[in-house]
Amino acid sequence: MRIAVVEDDSDQSEMLSIWLEAAGHTPSIFSTGEALLEKDNINEFDIVILDWDLPGIDGIEVLRIIREEKGLNTAVLFATRHESTTDVVTVLEAGADDYMVKPIDRRELMARLNTIKRRNSISEEPANYLITAGEFTLDDKAHRLTRHGEALSLTPKEYELVSYLFRNLEQVLSRADLLSHVWGCDAEINTRTVDTHISRIRKKLELNAENGWKLESIYHYGYRLEQIESTEPA
């Protein structure tokens, strides 16, 4: 894979470059977030490994620009010394695909890169990238959701959550399962970020009985999305 490493510590970036090359990847090193953002096409990278504490604009701001201003879906793996639950939730809600706490372990790094690769490759299957359910159509190649033919505005992480829910209609999904498949996290992470995203997409997609949908909260466990008979008058 082509991997951008945004890291101002030269020893750290050199070590990561050696590890990545040994694993068959092609790393490109950037010492600042500005250097990465100056590239014409960040989408040429399969994954960006992004440090939080960078000189100039920090990693959170770099991620915001990638997601909101540039509108890119390039996978981002955060590398940080911040390890509190609040910091982790901040990173994930900003649109990161996964995170690692420094000092970085080589085996963990490779495992997380492979997880991101597997998760993102799902949408590359030509026969499996379109999902149609009721009035909704999801295009996993374009990360685009339409309702009655009109596009809905979702953040990249909201789209991934919606896609996973629609691919598992009528199945009970635990918060740990959602964290693992959408955020790449284990169950020990605070699940508030799942609940927050569920609340947002329930409102954005109008997933209610009047429209023939039910996004049900399973007490102390998780969620289930199902299509039901609409209560709208005929």
Q: Are residues 130 and 97 in the same domain?
A: no
Q: Are residues 137 and 92 in the same domain?
A: no
Q: Which helix (H) or strand (E) holds 81?
A: none
DSSP for 139-167 reads ETTTTEEEETTEEE---HHHHHHHHHHHH
Q: So what's the pLDDT on residue 220?
A: 80
CATH of the domain at 176: 1.10.10.10
Residue 232 lies in a domain: no
Q: Are residues 62 and 76 in the same domain?
A: yes
Q: So what's the pLDDT on residue 141?
A: 76
Q: Are residues 185 and 132 in the same domain?
A: yes
pLDDT of 219 above 70? yes
Could you read off the pLDDT of 31-61 as tens digits, one per residue? 999 999 988 678 788 899 999 999 999 999 9
pTM for the whole structure: 0.54
Q: So what's the pLDDT on residue 123?
A: 41
228 conformational bin, left if phi > 0, alpha if psi -120 to 50, beta if neither: beta
Domain region containing 191 = 125-227
Q: Are residues 101 and 130 in the same domain?
A: no
Q: Are residues 65 and 117 in the same domain?
A: yes
Whether 133 and 166 have beta carbons less than 8 Å apart is answered as yes
Number of C-beta neighbours around residue 163 at 10 A = 22
Q: Comparing 29-38, 99-108, 118-127, 199-208, which segment has the lowest mean pLDDT?
A: 118-127
Q: How many domains does the chain have?
A: 2
Q: How far is it, in rounded angstroms, from Cα 133 to Cα 146?
A: 11
Domain stops at, among 123, 150, 176: 123
CATH of the domain at 66: 3.40.50.2300
Q: Comparing 79-83, 110-114, 143-147, which segment has the lowest mean pLDDT?
A: 79-83
